[in-house]
Structure 1
Amino acid sequence: MNGSGPITRRGFVGGALLAGFGGKAFAQGFAGLGESADGFASVVPGRTFAFPADHGPHPEFRIEWWYVTANLADANGVAYGAQWTLFRQAIAAGGPQEGWANQQIWMGHAAVTRADTHRFSQTFARGGVGQAGVEAEPFHAWIDAWEMRRLVPVNGENIAPLELKAAGADFSYALRLDADRPLVLQGDGGYSRKSLREQASYYYSQPHYTAKGILTIDDRPVDVTGMAWLDREWSSQPLASDQSGWDWLSLHFSAGDKLMLYRMRQADGQHYGSGKWIAPDGKTELLVSADIIMTPLNFTEIEKRKIPTTWRIAIPRMALSIECTPLNARSWMGTIFPYWEGPIRFAGSHTGVGYLEMTGY
């Protein structure tokens, strides 16, 4: 395991800027996501998304990420998880500056999980010097040697096919991602609310990837296949000041449906929930707080913290009642802003696999 450790995709956006990046450091924590975003662009309803342009960066907003999770298995049925993330954070508002004066900070985050191990790594870069970035056309997202790039001219409506690569000291993976269905706009046409106030992000997903490639742990490569999920979000102030973190799931149902859910935890206990059900034919249905029941069942103690690693999820109006269990209950990212993230399985009224992220515990 890489001792430097990554920080969560959503933790980073409110998180740390290392002193080595221009001599300025800060550590806002998750609550920092609720601080004033004066000078940055606002997220408002009614945006018209444009692809492939929106696959690229939006530097007028403070925070952004390109994030992939993959539920994989080898020929013997051994399950794995893989994760790839590129974050962008602006440390100051205003038009992009040249070279080392550029206000953009980039972080790459990669991880693999198996039932008996969890490995992760990270890398950082300053914008403006070519070490990291994203190009919308032809699509290419990279930081150092980690990259997500087109294999042939990419269909902007489904952002496929892609190649995904990353490596740490004791793991690596190279995956091909294909999709034959279009992107999904989360929330209300891509406007994803995070509270009953003005906090929101622009958010879309590609939940329909099939994945195949090679995953290596301790110099032992295996051929893997499975399903993958891409999330794209950007915002300037996605959390309210009284929200401490979130519990987020992406679920692949055995019957072909997909489901995205999250719960933003609030100090008063009136947690804000949202989600989207995606049918095999591509039709979607928005879910609101009143639709979603998320109940922690079992906890894992990690670094003197009690982490809810087994959950019961119920959506009565969709006749869904499932229990989600982790592939590895110790999928813990012990970083500057510790969090839990890893692959899960679920059973009950529906069966399948997915990913769970929990921050702020």
Structure 2
Amino acid sequence: MNVRVLLLLLWPFDASAQGFAGLGTATDSFATPQSPAIFDFPADHGPHANYRIEWWYLTANLTDADGTPYGLQWTLFRTALAPENGTGWSSPQLWMGHAAVTTADAHYVTERLARGGIGQAGVTADPFEAWIDDWQLIGPDLNTLRMTASGPDFAYDMDLTALGPLIFHGDNGYSVKSAEGQASYYYSQPFYAIEGTLALPDGDIDVSGSAWLDREWSSQPLSDDQTGWDWFSLSLDTGKLMGFRLRQTDGTFYTSATWIKPDGQTTTYPDGTFNAEPLFIATVDGRAIPTQWRVTLPDRDVDVTIAAINDQAWMETSVPYWEGPITVTGSHNGVGYLEMTGYE
């Protein structure tokens, strides 16, 4: 049995729509986020083995010299079978990497799986390095990074420079996800300038744009009646907006948002103040997926239409989901990324 097959058998997939690592299932052996959140940098840029679920999640909106738009994703997930590091093959830490490039006409995606403890994947905080096989997100710190990944029909090599501060969501990084109080530690670096080269089937393309890194860890970030989420990261002409809605089995939603000024000052918006309403449903891999939305945040006079650059940006990975670049028009203009999970 090869290593990839073994990892698929060991991976804690959930048969429900919550998917990766059973995000809404209770566990007593792992740590849980506590308020107030207290961060220790640069150590917290690294992994937290005593929490069950964690990710380093980077998306980018890019254009070439002609203004043609592209989207890029680089994600490293960590999940644990037990709250400890372990050594060698006895390590209970499992790693999964996703990389994708999206154009108006194509969506290229690939996946890597790895076992912790044997050097195949991991993260170190100082200097910063996140890797799985030969994919890397690496730099002296989180402010200056080089990012590489490749798949059967694409590759990219990018340089990133942070032009603003870290952003802490929720209550200074303690991000509540449900009325019952499930939560995660959640911060972002949404101020990256990015440039580099995409290698696609038709040749190499020089691109530049903006990128957004999300850092999040928890052990049970969802409640058991939440079936998935719709998450928006928007870079607008007057600021940035992170907003999500968590879909619940009774047809209601739990929402949260962060408004980010150009200088990095933030305002947090609690449940019920951020709204996202589907406008168009596309058929994607046999599923009904909303790929156009009306997003409103009345306190900031935000009333915008979100549209996918490519409706078919389906991540056909071990835990499938939709992830792709979007355009923003209306009261504000801009670009961003949309992630949707739990659509069966």
TM-score higher than 0.5: yes
Partner in structure 2 of residue 359 of structure 1: 341
Partner in structure 1 of residue 92 of structure 2: 103
Distance in 2 between the 1:163 and 1:185 partners? 23
AA partner of residue 88 (structure 2): G
Instruction: Tell whether the 8 Å contact from 2:254 to 2:272 is kept in structure 1 after alignment.
Output: no
Partner in structure 1 of residue 127 of structure 2: 138
Gaps of 5+ in 1: 1-16
Partner of 2:123, secondary structure, is strand
TM-score, normalization: structure 2?
Answer: 0.95
Partner in structure 2 of residue 189 of structure 1: 172
Correspondence 1:233-248 to 2 at 5 A: 233-248=216-231
Distance in 2 between the 1:272 and 1:355 partners? 20
Correspondence 1:334-349 to 2 at 5 A: 334-349=316-331
Residue from 18, 27, 30 that aligns with 2:13: 27
Distance in 2 between the 1:25 and 1:246 partners? 21
Distance in 1 between the 2:11 and 2:66 partners? 47
Partner in structure 2 of residue 42 of structure 1: 32
- C-alpha deviations, 1:214-235, integer Å up to 9, x for none? 0111151111000000000000
Partner in structure 2 of residue 309 of structure 1: 291
Residue from 182, 191, 215 that aligns with 2:198: 215
- C-alpha deviations, 1:213-264, integer Å up to 9, x for none? 0011115111100000000000000111110000000000123x11100000
Identity of aligned residues (%): 51
Partner of 2:246, secondary structure, is strand
Shift of 1:18: 6.6
Partner in structure 2 of residue 278 of structure 1: 260
Distance in 2 between the 1:23 and 1:312 partners? 40
Distance in 2 between the 1:24 and 1:136 partners? 27
Distance in 1 between the 2:194 and 2:310 partners? 21
Instruction: Tell whether the 8 Å contact from 1:170 to 1:219 is kept in structure 2 after alignment.
Output: no
Partner in structure 2 of residue 176 of structure 1: 159
Partner of 2:50, secondary structure, is coil
Partner of 1:57, secondary structure, is coil
**Residues 1:307 and 1:160: Cα distance change in structure 2 (over 3 Å):** same
AA partner of residue 239 (structure 1): L
TM-score, normalization: structure 1?
Answer: 0.90
The runs of 4+ residues in structure 1 deviating greater than 6 Å are none
Matched, 1:129 2:118: yes
**Residues 1:24 and 1:180: Cα distance change in structure 2 (over 3 Å):** closer
Distance in 1 between the 2:282 and 2:263 partners? 38
Distance in 2 between the 1:304 and 1:148 partners? 34
- C-alpha deviations, 1:319-358, integer Å up to 9, x for none? 1100000110110123343211100001000000000001
Instruction: Tell whether the 8 Å contact from 1:18 to 1:25 is kept in structure 2 after alignment.
Output: no
AA partner of residue 224 (structure 2): S
**Residues 1:243 and 1:169: Cα distance change in structure 2 (over 3 Å):** same
AA partner of residue 14 (structure 2): Q
Instruction: Tell whether the 8 Å contact from 1:71 to 1:81 is kept in structure 2 after alignment.
Output: yes
Shift of 1:21: 2.9
AA partner of residue 200 (structure 1): A
AA partner of residue 81 (structure 2): I
Instruction: Tell whether the 8 Å contact from 1:245 to 1:264 is kept in structure 2 after alignment.
Output: yes
RMSD: 1.5
Residue from 234, 257, 260 that aligns with 2:242: 260
Shift of 1:168: 0.4
- C-alpha deviations, 1:2-51, integer Å up to 9, x for none? xxxxxxxxxxxxxxx97513963543144421112111001111121111
Partner in structure 1 of residue 53 of structure 2: 63
Residue from 266, 270, 282 that aligns with 1:300: 282
Distance in 1 between the 2:189 and 2:203 partners? 30
Partner in structure 2 of residue 12 of structure 1: none
Distance in 2 between the 1:44 and 1:25 partners? 27
Distance in 1 between the 2:277 and 2:224 partners? 24
Correspondence 1:127-166 to 2 at 5 A: 127-150=116-139, 153-154=140-141, 159-166=142-149
Partner in structure 2 of residue 76 of structure 1: 66
Distance in 2 between the 1:345 and 1:130 partners? 39
AA partner of residue 212 (structure 1): E
AA partner of residue 88 (structure 1): R
Partner of 1:43, secondary structure, is coil
- C-alpha deviations, 1:269-313, integer Å up to 9, x for none? 221000100001211000122211211000101233110000000
AA partner of residue 24 (structure 1): L
Distance in 1 between the 2:272 and 2:13 partners? 34
Residue-pair matches, total: 337
Please identify, of 263-272 and 66-75, the stretch whose mean Cα deviation from structure 2 is larger: 263-272
Distance in 1 between the 2:9 and 2:188 partners? 35
Shift of 1:359: 0.6
